Amino acid sequence: KNEVEQSPQNLTAQEGEFITINCSYSVGISALHWLQQHPGGGIVSLFMLSSGKKKHGRLIATINIQEKHSSLHITASHPRDSAVYICAVRYWDTGNQFYFGTGTSLTVIP
Applying CB under 8 A, which of residues 2, 7, 64, 75 lies at the interface with another protein? 2
Phi, psi torsion values for 80, nearest 5 degrees: -70, -10
Examine residue 10 and tell whether it contacts another protein (CB under 8 A).
no
Applying CB under 8 A, which of residues 28, 64, 79, 92 lies at the interface with another protein? 92
Residue 22: how many CB atoms within 10 A of its CB?
A: 15
Applying CB under 8 A, which of residues 86, 104, 106, 108 lies at the interface with another protein? 86
Q: How far is CA 84 from the centre of its chain?
A: 9
Residue 98: how many CB atoms within 10 A of its CB?
A: 18
Helix (H, G, I), strand (E, B) or coil at 76: coil
Examine residue 68 and tell whether it contacts another protein (CB under 8 A).
no
Q: Which residues bind another protein (CB under 8 A)?
A: 2, 4, 30-31, 33, 35, 41-45, 48-50, 86, 88, 90, 92, 95-103
